[in-house]
Amino acid sequence: MIGTMTLDFSTMAPYWTWFVEGAITTVWLTAVTVIAGTVIGFLATIMKRSRIKPINWIANIYTSVIRGTPILLQLYIVAFGLPSLGIKIPDIMGIPRSSMYLSCIIALSLNSGAYICEIFRAGLNAVDAGQAEAARSLGLNSKQTMRLIILPQAVKTVLPSLVNEFIMMIKETSLVSTLGLGDVMYTQKIIQGSTYRIFEPYIIIAIIYLALTTVLTFISGKIERKMNTDA
Amino acid sequence: MLKTVDLHKTYGKLEVLKGITTEIHTGEVVAIIGPSGSGKSTFLRCLNLLEEPTKGEVIFKDQNLTTKVDKDFDLNKVREHIGMVFQHFNLFPHKTVIENIMLAPIKVKGLSKEQAHDRALELLKKVGLEDKKDVYPNKLSGGQKQRVAIARALAMQPDVMLFDEPTSALDPEMVKEVLLVIQDLAKSGMTTVIVTHEMGFAKEIASRVMFIDQGIILEEGTPDEVFNHPKHERTKEFFDKVMY
């Protein structure tokens, strides 16, 4: 038939290392993002619980802006918007393109941090108020109450949601391919360039994403079940 | 031992406590009764400042807990000496029964693990639950949970015990086992303040009954005075409704 192509995956065989390299980039990019996002989210949670109003406001504005705007826009603002104002993120130790990677990591981490802040907030709120009351009535101070009573219980709701955030981020990082970073999504562009095959790389990339997220979903399920059996 | 002066508590526009002045003496067993929403629980929770009074004073052993001027006292230090038992038990679900009891003596009083363990075990024996020491709270019945909660509060060796409707969340067949523990405690001379809907129990164990209605102590006295010879119409009405 004219104008159609038959699928031929054997054309992809010579390029399998490219897919692997792309997948590795996707995984480490996600890991760095979620780890940095967890730190940012933790700080934002503390800020939101602060007694000083302006600190609350800063944290609230941060989460509202991030959650209310598209992640692609946030990426472009950090990668292109800020440099146009003269705020340039330098290459690290002269590694080529590392400045672009760093920009993406900053944008994605800030994005992830806002969602993780909400995860922490929900986790803390899920602990019954009576728990803190019981602890305080026994003479524990507010720090001991948080560390010994509230946090261990909040972790239970937080951990599965954090893994879920990891799953979301695996998919979200595909946006960096629009900035020319070599994640697994970007593999499509370079393979299409050399083979003129369009559809096969898409399918393989889809399978890679699905494999990654499935593994994480499995881990998440394990954690959740473990948490539920542990009293 | 524990005194309140003109205690007020307001939530937004709602005035829950409208000036309560009273004193709880060492060895007294005070039962607080009254209609729902009358402010009994709020009053009790003001005694260890789980609720901060809007106005008025709480004085524990000559220490004013409510003065804003003199904040150099440590509220946590005071709370060690005021045990509290809640309607919904509030056991720590991530800790075993014995860990629940040992936690505060170790972290607050600085007891060694061994000391805290011995004390906890002794208290568990007292409430009849030594065989449950290593289980998690979710494996216990409501009555058992509440007995553990009592043991947990007692482990701090408080000077006074506050009970906030300790049997209201229990299945009927579990009420008695908890009341018996409280009764033992009261008879042993522990200063006790209990908010309760168990009129029979209040009558039986209280040295003083306090009827709180609409944010004030409407009347108080011995169980005989309050239950058998109430002075106020509202008190009579209340008894008419709850006793049959």
- Retrieve residue A224's tokens: 């959740």
Nearest to A177 by CA among A168, A163, A160, A189: A189
Residue bearing tokens 């789980």:
B50
Task: Let me know if residue A212 belongs to a domain.
Answer: yes
Check: CB of residue A26 under 8 Å from CB of residue A182: no
∠ Cα B61 A149 B82 (to 5°): 15
Mutation site for B-interface testing, chosen from A131, A133, A136, A138 by largest number of B Cβ within 10 Å = A138
Q: Within a 10 A sphere around the Cβ of A171, how many other Cβ atoms?
A: 14
pTM: 0.84
Instruction: State the helix-helix crossing angle for B142-154 and B97-107, rounded to 10 degrees.
Output: 20
- Among B47, B75, B83, B48, which Cα is nearest to B158's? B83
Q: What is the pLDDT of residue B184?
A: 94
Name B191's bridge partners: B160
Could you report how far apart the first and last alpha carbons of chain B are, in Å? Answer: 36
Tokens of B138: 């979710």
First to last CA, chain A: 63
Angle of CA points A72, A188, A84, to nearest 5°: 35
| Token pair in block for residue A83 | 């440099």
Q: Looking at residues B118-122, what average pLDDT do you find?
A: 97
CATH of the domain at A27: 1.10.3720.10
C-alpha–C-alpha distance, residues A204 and A202, integer Å: 6
Average pLDDT score over chain B: 93
List per-residue pLDDT tens for chain A, 231 residues long. 455 668 888 888 888 898 999 999 999 999 999 999 999 999 999 999 888 999 999 999 999 999 999 999 999 999 998 888 887 777 777 777 788 899 999 999 999 999 999 999 999 999 999 999 999 999 999 999 999 999 999 988 898 889 999 999 999 999 999 998 889 899 888 888 888 888 888 999 999 999 999 999 998 888 888 877 654
Q: Report yes or no on A111 lying in a domain.
A: yes
Q: Closest partner residue to A231 among B76, B93, B156, by Cβ?
A: B93
Query: Looking at the domain assignment, is residue A133 inside a domain?
Result: yes
Task: Tell the residue number behind the tokens 């490219």, with chain if given.
Answer: A18
CA-closest candidate to residue B202, choices B176, B183, B178, B175: B183
Res. B72: pLDDT tops 70 = no
B93, B107, B109: residue with CB nearest A144 = B107
| Look-up of token digits 């008894």 | B239
Report the C-alpha gap between A116 and A8 in whole angstroms. Answer: 42
pLDDT of residue A4: 67
- Separation of alpha carbons A136 and A129, rounded Å: 11
Q: What is the pLDDT of residue B68?
A: 61
The answer to whether the Cβ–Cβ distance between A140 and B76 falls below 8 Å is: yes
- Give me the total of CB pairs closer than 8 Å, taking one residue from chain A and one from chain B: 64
The percentage of residues in chain B with a pLDDT greater than 90, rounded to a whole number, is 90
The Cα B178–Cα A154 span in angstroms is 30
The encoded tokens of residue B184 equal 């033992």
Partners of B57 in beta bridges: B5
Structural domain contains residue A1: no
Q: What is the CA radius of gyration of chain A?
A: 22
Q: Return the residue in A128, A131, A136, A137 with the most chain B beta carbons within 10 A, the one to mutate for interface testing.
A: A137
Is A90 a member of any domain? yes
- What pLDDT is recorded for position B242? 86
**Number of independent structural domains in chain A:** 1
The ipTM estimated for the assembled molecules is 0.92
Note whether residue A216 is domain-resident: yes
The three state secondary structure string of chain A is: CCCCCCCCHHHHHHHHHHHHHHHHHHHHHHHHHHHHHHHHHHHHHHHHHCCCHHHHHHHHHHHHHHHHCCHHHHHHHHHHHHHHCCCCCCCHHHCCCHHHHHHHHHHHHHHHHHHHHHHHHHHHHCCCHHHHHHHHHCCCCHHHHHHHHHHHHHHHHHHHHHHHHHHHHHHHHHHHHHHCCCCHHHHHHHHHHHHCCCHHHHHHHHHHHHHHHHHHHHHHHHHHHHHHHCC
Residue A62 lies in a domain: yes
Residue B74 sits at the vertex; the CA angle it makes with B147 and A144, to the nearest 5 degrees, is 55
Q: Which residues of A touch B (CB under 8 A)?
A: 128, 130-131, 133-141, 144, 148-149, 152-153, 230-231
Chain A contact set for B76 (CB, 8 A): 136, 139-141
CB contact under 8 Å between A231 and B137, yes or no, is yes
If you write DSSP's letter for every residue of B138-169 in order, what string do you get? GGS-HHHHHHHHHHHHHTT--SEEEEESTTTT
Cα separation, A229 vs B98, whole angstroms: 19
Whole-angstrom Cα distance, residue B119 to residue B114? Answer: 9
| pLDDT tens column, B131-154 | 999 999 999 999 999 999 999 999
Residue in A18, A25, A195 with CA at minimum distance from that of residue A101: A25
- Full domain range(s) for residue A180: 9-230
Rg, C-alpha atoms of chain B: 18
- Are B88 and B81 contacting, i.e. CB atoms less than 8 angstroms apart? no
Tokens of B69: 């001027």
Q: What is the pLDDT of residues B13-41, one digit of tens each?
A: 999 999 999 999 999 999 999 999 899 99
Q: Which of A30-39, A142-151, B72-81, B110-119 has the lowest mean pLDDT?
A: B72-81
Percent of chain B with pLDDT over 70: 97
- How high is the pLDDT of residue A103? 92
B40 within 8 A of B220, measured Cβ to Cβ: no
Domain assignment present for residue A4? The answer is: no
Cβ distance B86 to A140 less than 8 Å, yes or no, reads no
